[in-house]
Amino acid sequence: METIPQIDFHGMEPSPDYRDEILRHIERLEDKYGRMTSCRVVVTAPGGHHRTGGHFEVRIHLVLPDEREVAVDRTPDPDERFQRFEFALNDAFGRAGRQLQDEVGRMRGKMKHHEEAPTGVVKQIMREDGYGFLESEDGREIYFHRNSVRAPGFDNLDVGVRVNFVEEEGREGPQASRVMPIAEKAPE
């Protein structure tokens, strides 16, 4: 990175542990997507804010070499998990990574073609826990989270449905993002 990452804490004392975790996330983004020219992360502590209430809010602003920008400015419909710093941080950097992946693809001139995306079949859904597994064309089991499922959404997804997806390396192995149903049921 051309400049030192700027990390600000609002409504709380700066924490060396939190700062180190943020720096690890930034380093992972750079390792995966290449050079960034600058990065600013703002962590707002839980408080009496009318919009976030008792939730951490993490905002990220990245600048890429050709002056393109990636910004994660809002916390999507916070739930009780956002009361934990680690969850809010992982969520924000996950969203930043997906946006950065799109920007890097555009910078390299790649167009999105859904028919070229890997396909798989939904094998397991844990509705109450908000995740599931799909089987890729090469027989691998790949995790996906409810937030990764495109319209008509996770709650309308059934076992046996064929999907397109984008594969990413998650903390515990491969995971699918941008899961898009392409047919009612896979042929049996």
Any domain includes 74: yes
Helices (H) and strands (E) in the chain, counts: 2, 9
Range 140-162 average pLDDT: 89
Q: Are residues 22 and 95 in the same domain?
A: yes
pLDDT of residue 133: 95
pLDDT of residue 30: 86
pLDDT > 70? residue 138 = yes
Q: Are residues 99 and 124 in the same domain?
A: no
Any domain includes 1: no
Range 39-58 average pLDDT: 77
At which of 51, 83, 107 does a domain end?
107
pLDDT of residue 109: 60
The span from the CA of 91 to the CA of 87, in Å, is 6
Greater confidence, 131 or 46?
Answer: 131
Range 25-38 average pLDDT: 84
* Candidate from 84-93, 137-146, 171-180 with smallest mean pLDDT: 171-180
The pLDDT confidence band at residue 20, using thresholds 50, 70 and 90, is: very high
b/e string for 48-83 if b means 16 or more Cβ within 10 A? eeeebeebbbbbbbbbbeeeeebebeebeebeeebe
Q: Is this model's pTM higher than 0.85 or not? A: no
pLDDT of residue 153: 85
CATH of the domain at 45: 3.30.160.100
Q: Domain count of the chain?
A: 2
At which of 77, 107, 137 does a domain end?
107
CATH of the domain at 161: 2.40.50.140
* Candidate from 86-95, 98-107, 146-155 with smallest mean pLDDT: 98-107
Q: Are residues 16 and 57 in the same domain?
A: yes
Q: Are residues 94 and 138 in the same domain?
A: no
Any domain includes 187: no
The pLDDT confidence band at residue 159, using thresholds 50, 70 and 90, is: very high
At which of 75, 107, 139 does a domain end?
107
The span from the CA of 73 to the CA of 41, in Å, is 10
8 Å CB contact between 118 and 142: no
pLDDT of residue 169: 80
- Please give the residue range of the domain that contains residue 143: 116-181
Neighbours of 168 (CB within 10 A): 17
Map tokens 């089991």 to a residue. Answer: 141
Any domain includes 186: no
